[in-house]
Structures are given as structure tokens and as C-alpha cells.
């Protein structure tokens, strides 16, 4: 089956950037890394974030995995907060998913419920006093950027210091080196010889120098100078020149085979297209680096919010210790109520320890991307945490269709396949060239100068020679076999392009669906939180009046904690899938031009 090589433009302009040893692509990818020794990043990423709001960002775009399972396999995020598992872990429904997110290592330093390193937020009973009005309002992106470590700071740190970017730069430099080596096929070649035969019946001395220049359009031109002196054999009379030597210039031009493309040009074009594939692959990996950093950042933010939920839940049990003791001493409550409250305090301390372990794990993971000016990992502290998640904005149908159309033109995976297709087209063009007959025109002009050395004077006249050379392979099996192989590869690549295009559209639609679902879950979770806080407010009144016992009150408190965790889970899912969506629709990482599109 013959497949048309549409869009296979492979002229000299296809390798226009390959004439230099150092590509501007490498310079662009590496420019951010020149600031490693600058003191400025130290100010931006110091532990004191009082100046964070000086450079707020808007329209922050994230990058993510195709689904949560891929991220978990990569080990770069922890499982999201699972409210059902929280209900199973706590008979009263108040726990976190820290058993899934962390290992059971305990941190005794986190048992104290008086954690003042967080921004102050009211405990559940204080919030309930205002009929749920104290539910924190989500921040705009600008407000979010003014509190704690910003996402754009983390991404800047990745661009400046992430070690794998150095590997990517090395691969681009290697590809550029191969292109430069391919240009070596067109280097001018200087030749020379000096041959002496001082002994024997025929004593001769010959010297010469020449310059050969291959032509990009096919063929070559050359010029030589030689001088031959002595007593030459009669059958080697052409080696003798006049006393001052001979100058000669010649050419060789193809008219059929090797005219449009030859082996030298095929190698050059192929190396340039292979470099384009490397650039596209590097673009894909840079997006992965941004994706990993973004997801590690949101995992850290979610883990910090979960710690605050557990901290406030523990504060509730601690604040009523004296109240319960007084009522037990007065006979208003049974002794078991005090024991139950102490049991709740112990359990909630344990939950807080596990939540703190989850936060520490997320901070350690984030340190792979969050680095100082010397590119050393920084473990973010609790005071670096943002106050809350930013606003969640859903994706409409019009935006989705527009982003799909954009993604089909800029995704590095498609650019890599398109470059591969053009490479195969070059191979096919060269194979077609092998089936053509060879028809070359060659010629030269020469002139001897100086005194005559031959009695016949046959060296002195100006010489001009032209010739036509013809050659054709009869079976042409080499060229036809290569054409067949190239057609098979084109069929494969075209199918891959269609499949990848379909996957990109499906990936964007699925991510948009997940983002919109998470946005709706956030709205419902906020309403659920408002209602559970109102229930807790009424439950506290009933407990103070003796209408309900401590077990029932604990159920109300656990319900509020569970509602907060559900809201936190919905917010985390929103930004996780927003990262997937934004990565799927773009081919640019770290706010720069994609290498493969240059």
C-alpha cells in the first residue's frame, strides 16, 4: 500500500538551525539555571514569607497525571482524604485518611494540641456560634498567592534547580551535535601529495594540492594545482607538466539520481528531524516535571489543612475538660463521661499525630522541587502553608472545545510523531531516488604554465573536457524494498497520530468532567458543613442543659470534622484534575516557548 507523504517539506530550510554547534534551544532551556548563584531566590524562598504578596500571580495553570491511579503509582502524591474510611476509623465518624496517606510513624512533638504555627481559625464551637457563618470563604488566586509558599515559586525553583532538567539539556546538546556531524558531509576537503622517485632508470618528482567542495544541491566542484618533473615513463606522460606546473578546475553534477536528494542530504535531514523528536520528548518531560511539582504542592496544602481539622477537633475535647469535671463533681454527670472525654482526647491526639506525619511526608516530597539558591532541598514548615485553597472555577463546553483544538496543535506527543513522520518521508524520498538511473555530467578545464618540458609541446595548450555518465540498476530491488518499508512505517505513524489525537480529546473531556464534578462537590460540601455546624451548635446547647450525653455530642463534633474533610477532599480533587486538564491542553512548561515548536 502506498501512503502519500503529505507535508514532508525537506529542503535546506528544514535544517536551518543545525549549522551551529550550540543551538538557541539549549540556551533557552538553560537560561533559568544561570540564576543559581544569584541571591534573589534566597529572599523569595526564605522561611520568612512576609513579602510573599509583593508578587502575586493570577491565572496559575497547573499540570497533572491522567488519573489519580497514575499519580499514586508514581509515588508523587498520597491518596486523597477518604471520609468513609474516616467513619470506619472512628466509631463516632471523626478521623482522617492519614492511615492511607502516611506510615504509622509517630511524632511525639506533635501531640500538643496548642499548635500556634498555623494561621488562627476558630474551633468548631466558636464557628457554630455564628450559625455557620464562620465557614472560611475560598480565596481568589491573588489572595491565595499572598499567603504562604506560592505555586509559581515552586515551579520557578523546579526550572532553576531540578536535576533532571540538566539531563534534558544534555540530550538536546547531544542531538545538536549529531546534526553538526551530519553537516560534516559537506565540509570542504583539502588534499595534497608529494611523491619522489630519486633512484632507478626513471627519476621523477611529483607534488600537488587540491580543494574539493561538495554541493548541497548535489555533485561537487574542485580545483587542483600540480607539478611533475623528471624523466617519466612513456606510458605515464600525463604526469609530467610544464616547468611552472598545471592548474585545473572541474565539476560533477547529477541530473537524475542524487539530484533532489542523496545520501549526504538524507543523513542531514534525518538528524535534524531526530533532533526535533528529542526536543518534543524533552517538552513532554518538562511538563511532567511541572506536573509532579504541582501535585506535590497541592498534596502538601491538603495535608496541612487536614492537620488543622484534627487540631481543632482535639481542642474541642480539651476545652471541656474542666466543665465535665465540675459537672461530675456536682453529680450532674456520671464518672464515665469524664472517662469518655479522656478517651476522646487520647484518640484525637493519635489522629493528630498521624495527620502531622502525613504533612511531614508531603513536605519532604515537596522538597524535591522546592529548593534554595544553592539548589538544596528545603523542607517547608507549617508557617509556609497557605491559609486555604483558592477559588474553584468550572470549565464550560465552549472553553473545552477550544482547548481541545489548541491541544491538537501544540501537544509534544503529536509534535514528536509528526517529526517522526517527516523523517520516514525523507527515508522514502531517498529510497525513490535509488530507483532512478544515474545520469551525471562531469567536466574540467586545465592549463599548464611555464617553460615547455616536452619537445612535442603537448602540455601548453588549454585543455577542456566534458562527459556524460549513465548507470541504471535493472531490478531496482534495493530502492523498491526501502519504499515498501517506509510505506509500512508511515501507516503505523499515521495510526499512532490518530490514536494519540483521540486520546488527547478523551483526556481533556474526562479531566473537564472531573473538574466540574469536583466544583459541584465543593458547593455541596460547603452547604453540608454549614448544616453540620448548626447541628453542633444546637447539640452543645442540649449537652449543657443535660438533654444529650457526651457520646451524642461527640457524634455532632465528628460530623463537623467529617464535613470539613469532605470539603477538603473535594478541593484537593478539583486542583488535582485541574492540573490534569491544564497539562493536557498545552505544550508549554514553566512559561516558556516549547522547544519542538521553534
Considering the domain architecture, whether residues 241 and 300 belong to the same structural domain is answered as no
Q: DSSP assignment of 444-512, as one string?
A: EEEEEESS--STT-TTSS-EEEEEEEEE--SS-HHHHHHHHHHHHHHHHHHHHHHHHHHHHHHHHHHHH
> Residue 441 carries which DSSP code?
E
Question: Is residue 547 situated within a structural domain?
Answer: yes
Is 586 in contact with 283 (CB distance < 8 Å)? no
Show the CA angle centred on residue 562, arms to residues 558 and 565, nearest 5°. Answer: 140
Please tell me the predicted confidence (pLDDT) of residue 510. Answer: 93
Question: Is residue 403 situated within a structural domain?
Answer: no
Q: At what angle do helices 321-329 and 263-319 cross, to 10 degrees?
A: 30
User: How far is it, in rounded angstroms, from Cα 95 to Cα 562?
Assistant: 7
Cα separations in angstroms, 336 against 273, 350, 548: 78, 21, 14
Cell readout for 68 is 489519580
CB atoms within 10 A of CB 414: 20
User: How far is it, in rounded angstroms, from Cα 447 to Cα 484?
Assistant: 50
Considering the domain architecture, whether residues 175 and 225 belong to the same structural domain is answered as no
The two counts, helices (H) then strands (E), for the chain are 16, 6
Is 334 in contact with 328 (CB distance < 8 Å)? yes
Considering the domain architecture, whether residues 514 and 589 belong to the same structural domain is answered as yes
Considering the domain architecture, whether residues 207 and 67 belong to the same structural domain is answered as no
The SS3 assignment for 143 reads: helix
Domain's final residue, options 477, 498, 529: 477
Sequential pLDDT tens for the chain (598 residues): 434 444 444 443 333 333 333 344 444 554 445 444 333 433 334 333 333 333 333 333 333 333 333 333 333 333 333 333 333 333 333 333 433 333 333 233 333 333 434 333 434 434 333 333 344 444 444 444 456 888 888 888 888 888 888 888 888 899 999 999 999 989 999 999 999 988 888 888 899 999 999 998 889 999 999 988 888 888 888 888 888 889 999 999 999 998 999 999 999 999 999 999 999 998 888 888 888 888 889 989 999 999 998 898 888 888 878 877 887 777 777 778 888 888 888 988 999 999 999 999 999 999 999 998 888 999 998 888 988 888 888 899 899 999 999 999 999 999 999 999 999 999 999 999 999 999 999 999 998 888 887 777 778 888 899 999 998 888 889 899 999 999 999 999 999 999 999 999 999 999 999 999 999 999 999 999 999 899 989 988 888 888 888 778 888 888 888 898 889 889 888 988 888 888 788 877 775 544 444 4
Cell readout for 122 is 476558630
The boundaries of the domain holding residue 590 are: 31-44+61-180+269-393+508-597
Show the CA angle centred on residue 268, arms to residues 267 and 273, nearest 5°. Answer: 95
Considering the domain architecture, whether residues 229 and 319 belong to the same structural domain is answered as no
Domain's final residue, options 428, 458, 477: 477
Q: Mention every residue, 6+ apart, whose C-beta is less than 8 A from residue 40.
A: 373
Question: Is residue 566 situated within a structural domain?
Answer: yes
Please tell me the predicted confidence (pLDDT) of residue 2. Answer: 39
Please tell me the predicted confidence (pLDDT) of residue 330. Answer: 79
Helix/strand/coil (H/E/C) assignment for every residue in 463-475? EEEEEEEEECCCC
Chain-centre distance of CA 322, in angstroms? 56
Please tell me the predicted confidence (pLDDT) of residue 444. Answer: 92
Question: Is residue 564 situated within a structural domain?
Answer: yes
Considering the domain architecture, whether residues 150 and 67 belong to the same structural domain is answered as yes
Considering the domain architecture, whether residues 189 and 163 belong to the same structural domain is answered as no
Considering the domain architecture, whether residues 288 and 231 belong to the same structural domain is answered as no
The SS3 assignment for 567 reads: helix
Please tell me the predicted confidence (pLDDT) of residue 50. Answer: 34
What is the domain-level CATH number for residue 106? 1.20.1600.10
Cell readout for 434 is 535509488
Question: Is residue 5 situated within a structural domain?
Answer: no
> Residue 247 carries which DSSP code?
E
User: How far is it, in rounded angstroms, from Cα 267 to Cα 182?
Assistant: 6
Considering the domain architecture, whether residues 296 and 245 belong to the same structural domain is answered as no
Q: At what angle do helices 151-161 and 163-183 cross, to 10 degrees?
A: 50
Question: Is residue 14 situated within a structural domain?
Answer: no
Spatial strand order in the sheet of 245-254: 189-197, 204-214, 220-230, 245-254, 438-449, 463-471
Considering the domain architecture, whether residues 385 and 242 belong to the same structural domain is answered as no
Question: Is residue 432 situated within a structural domain?
Answer: no
User: How far is it, in rounded angstroms, from Cα 9 to Cα 272?
Assistant: 13
Please tell me the predicted confidence (pLDDT) of residue 208. Answer: 93
Q: How far apart are the two ends of the chain, measured CA to CA in Å?
A: 34
Question: Is residue 483 situated within a structural domain?
Answer: no
Total of domains in the chain: 2
Considering the domain architecture, whether residues 332 and 352 belong to the same structural domain is answered as yes
Considering the domain architecture, whether residues 318 and 364 belong to the same structural domain is answered as yes
Amino acid at each position: 500500500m502506498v501512503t502519500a507523504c503529505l507535508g514532508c517539506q525537506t529542503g535546506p530550510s528544514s535544517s536551518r538551525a543545525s549549522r551551529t554547534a550550540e543551538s538557541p534551544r539549549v540556551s533557552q532551556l538553560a537560561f533559568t539555571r544561570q540564576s543559581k548563584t544569584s541571591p534573589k531566590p534566597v529572599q523569595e524562598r526564605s522561611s520568612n514569607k512576609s513579602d510573599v504578596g509583593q508578587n502575586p500571580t493570577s491565572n496559575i495553570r497547573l499540570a497533572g497525571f491522567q488519573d489519580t491511579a497514575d499519580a499514586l503509582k508514581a509515588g508523587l502524591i498520597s491518596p486523597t482524604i477518604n471520609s468513609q474510611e474516616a467513619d470506619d476509623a472512628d466509631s463516632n465518624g471523626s478521623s482522617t485518611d492519614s492511615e492511607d496517606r502516611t506510615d504509622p510513624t509517630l511524632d511525639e512533638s506533635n501531640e500538643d494540641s496548642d499548635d500556634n504555627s498555623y494561621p488562627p481559625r476558630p474551633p468548631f464551637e466558636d464557628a457554630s456560634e455564628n450559625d455557620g457563618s464562620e465557614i472560611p470563604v475560598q480565596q481568589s488566586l491573588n489572595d491565595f498567592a499572598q499567603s504562604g509558599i506560592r505555586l509559581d515559586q515552586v515551579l520557578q525553583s523546579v526550572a532553576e534547580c531540578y536535576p533532571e532538567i540538566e539531563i534534558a539539556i544534555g540530550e538536546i546538546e547531544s542531538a545538536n551535535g549529531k546534526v553538526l556531524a551530519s553537516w560534516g558531509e559537506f565540509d570542504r576537503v583539502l588534499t595534497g601529495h608529494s611523491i619522489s622517485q630519486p633512484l632507478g632508470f626513471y627519476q621523477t618528482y611529483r607534488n600537488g594540492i587540491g580543494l574539493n567542495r561538495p554541493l548541497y544541491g548535489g555533485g561537487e566542484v574542485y580545483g587542483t594545482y600540480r607539478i611533475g618533473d623528471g624523466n617519466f615513463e612513456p606510458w605515464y606522460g600525463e604526469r609530467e607538466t610544464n616547468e611552472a606546473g598545471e592548474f585545473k578546475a572541474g565539476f560533477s553534477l547529477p541530473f537524475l539520481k542524487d539530484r533532489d536528494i542523496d545520501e549526504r542530504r538524507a543523513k542531514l535531514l534525518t538528524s535534524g528531524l531526530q533532533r526535533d523528536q528529542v526536543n518534543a520528548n524533552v517538552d513532554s518531560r518538562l511538563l511532567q516535571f511541572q506536573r509532579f511539582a504541582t501535585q506535590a504542592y497541592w498534596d502538601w496544602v491538603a495535608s496541612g489543612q487536614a492537620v488543622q481539622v484534627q487540631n481543632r477537633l482535639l481542642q474541642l475535647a480539651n476545652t471541656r475538660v474542666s466543665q465535665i469535671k465540675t459537672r461530675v463533681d456536682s453529680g450532674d454527670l456520671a464518672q464515665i463521661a469524664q472517662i469518655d472525654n479522656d478517651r476522646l482526647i487520647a484518640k484525637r491526639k493519635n489522629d493528630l499525630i498521624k495527620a502531622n506525619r502525613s504533612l511531614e511526608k508531603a513536605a519532604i516530597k515537596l522538597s524535591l522541587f522546592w529548593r534554595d539558591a544553592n539548589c538544596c532541598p528545603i523542607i517547608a514548615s507549617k508557617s509556609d502553608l497557605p491559609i486555604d485553597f483558592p477559588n474553584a472555577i468550572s470549565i464550560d463546553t465552549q472553553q473545552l472545545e477550544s482547548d481541545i483544538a489548541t491541544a491538537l496543535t501544540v501537544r509534544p506527543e503529536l509534535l514528536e510523531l509528526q517529526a517522526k513522520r517527516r523523517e520516514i518521508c525523507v527515508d522514502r524520498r531517498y529510497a525513490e531516488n535509488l530507483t532512478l538511473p544515474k545520469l551525471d555530467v562531469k567536466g574540467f578545464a586545465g592549463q599548464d604554465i611555464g617553460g615547455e618540458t616536452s619537445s612535442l609541446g603537448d602540455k601548453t595548450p588549454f585543455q577542456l573536457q566534458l562527459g556524460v555518465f549513465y548507470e541504471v540498476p535493472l531490478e531496482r530491488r534495493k530502492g523498491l524494498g526501502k519504499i515498501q518499508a517506509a510505506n509500512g512505517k508511515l501507516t503505523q505513524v499515521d495510526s499512532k497520530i490518530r490514536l494519540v489525537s483521540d486520546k488527547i480529546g478523551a483526556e481533556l473531556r474526562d479531566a473537564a468532567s472531573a473538574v466540574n464534578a469536583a466544583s459541584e462537590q465543593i458547593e455541596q460540601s460547603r452547604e453540608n458543613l454549614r448544616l453540620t455546624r448548626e447541628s453542633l451548635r444546637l447539640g452543645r446547647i442540649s449537652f449543657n442543659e443535660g438533654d444529650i450525653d457526651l457520646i451524642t455530642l461527640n457524634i455532632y463534633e465528628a460530623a463537623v470534622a467529617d464535613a470539613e474533610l469532605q470539603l477538603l477532599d473535594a478541593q484537593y480533587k478539583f486542583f488535582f484534575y485541574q492540573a490534569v486538564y491544564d497539562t493536557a491542553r498545552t505544550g508549554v512548561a514553566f512559561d516558556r516557548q516549547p522547544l519542538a515548536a521553534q
